[in-house]
Structure 1
Amino acid sequence: MLTLYRPGNGPLHRMPAGPKLLLVVAAVLGVSLLPATWVGAAVAAIVPVLAYAASGLGDGLLGMRELGRQLLAVRWVIVITVAGQLLFLGPEPAVANTTRVTSAIVLAALLVLTTRVADLLDALEHGLRPLTALRVDPARVALLLTVTLSTVPVLAGLARDVRDAQRARGARAGLRAFAVPFLVLAFKHADELGDALTARGVR
């Protein structure tokens, strides 16, 4: 399974996958529940900055270089979200809502960057084990959640690769020129992921 995990020895790398997952989920929920105000936008922007600074990613800039990469990768999400919100809601809620969404995405990316997929899968399966009484297969649910968390930053990386390739060829920037190759790569990734899961007996 494709993963963006980066080996390290920072605080988040050393933290067990289960508590780390709960911490990130709490942070994402906290950001999501912030009011759609300028203050809420400021708090939502500060949370990932503090999280990446404390993560110990070892990028030489207290995690800010990696945070910048993640933000650059989702810039089209930011642009489209801001544009749509401005059209219907106005500047303050548009900026606040976009900041909350972006914060949640980069926080999820931080979890994947500092946690091996196998560890995350084990933690989710263990936490979901009580659902067995409701005839829910915790292994399948854990796999679904793990794939979802892993796919978000992977797609962001694919978007960055498309833009880098277009810049190298001198192609003009545009949504249509970006969308077609991005969708081709995204569908290719989905096919490869499906083949990998099938090879492991997942149907």
Structure 2
Amino acid sequence: MTIGVYIHGESALHRVAPGGKLVALLILGTLIILVGNPFALAALLVAVLGLYRLAGLSLRTAWQQLRPALFLFAILFAVQWAYHGPLEGAVVIARFVILILFAALVSLTTRVSDMLDTVMSAVRPLAHVGISPTKVGLAFALAIRFIPVIAEQFAEIREAQRARGLERSYRAIAIPLIVRTLKMATEIGDAIEARSFDPDDARKFAIRRAKRSRPAALQSDTRKETL
């Protein structure tokens, strides 16, 4: 899965505003829960794969987004089959496949910096109620950054448990993964706190530094225009 990795391109999807893509992802994630018809889900899957081709991305790229989650798909399908039957299991997996593919497509065709700017702009009106846009942007950036890290941790744990003959035990994989993720989150939080890092202060410092680094001629012209 290549969440957070941007592939340069000149397609129509690359030129769509990041806000439009994120809104489309939000709408799709909400509406797909209401879709239970296998044929409708199949049509959505074909449409998403068509968007990959429209963006100039190969179907192999689409497959690479799904391959790390195949083990989880197998577990989910088995659970759904046991409780609700194979058809419901296929519907649940189809929903996850469509969402993962579309989310990855948004990431592959949008720079992370553009997504962060969009998220921070959307949250900025909430600054009046005490919600910091820069802190929300930091959380969003960390989430994107550590999705591939968690995927790597999952692969390492699965290989280790396979050597012990426990590759079919979801508990033997899920519990160590949760423990590692929580430990990593705690270490990152401690590191940020130890440095007294405040994204709001960092942003203000960056703005002041950018103003000071402007060419002297530009500052002079600005003063003349003000006078």
TM-score, normalised with respect to structure 2: 0.65
CA offset digits 1:139-177 (Å, max 9, x no partner):
3233334433554454335445666x67xx988671457
Can you give the 5+ residue segments of structure 2 that lack an aligned partner in the other structure? 200-227
Matching residue within 121, 130, 135 for 1:126:
121
- What is the 5 A alignment of 1:30-49? 30-34=31-35, 36-49=36-49
User: Contact 1:125–1:138 at 8 Å: present in 2 too?
Assistant: yes
- What is the 5 A alignment of 1:1-203? 4-11=4-11, 12-34=13-35, 36-57=36-57, 62=58, 64-160=59-155, 174-176=167-169, 186=181, 190=185, 193-194=188-189, 201-202=197-198
Q: Between Structure 1 and Structure 2, how many residues are aligned?
A: 193
How many angstroms apart in 2 are the aligned matches of 1:196 and 1:14?
37
In terms of mean alpha carbon deviation, does 186-195 or 80-89 score higher?
186-195
User: Contact 1:81–1:98 at 8 Å: present in 2 too?
Assistant: yes
How many angstroms apart in 1 are the aligned matches of 2:143 and 2:55?
22
Q: For residues 113 and 155 of structure 1, do their structure 2 counterparts lie closer, same or farther at Cα, with a shift above 3 Å needed?
A: farther
Give the greater-gyration-radius structure (CA). Answer: 2
Can you give the 5+ residue segments of structure 1 that lack an aligned partner in the other structure? none
CA offset digits 1:98-153 (Å, max 9, x no partner):
21123212322222233332221111010122222333223323333443355445
Deviation at 1:81, TM superposition (A): 1.3
How many angstroms apart in 2 are the aligned matches of 1:10 and 1:78?
33
Deviation at 1:82, TM superposition (A): 0.9
Q: For residues 113 and 159 of structure 1, do their structure 2 counterparts lie closer, same or farther at Cα, with a shift above 3 Å needed?
A: farther
Q: Secondary structure at the match of 2:5?
A: coil
Opposite residue 54 of structure 1, the aligned amino acid is: L
| % same residue | 27
CA offset digits 1:53-105 (Å, max 9, x no partner):
22234xxxx3x111111111111221111111112112222211221123212
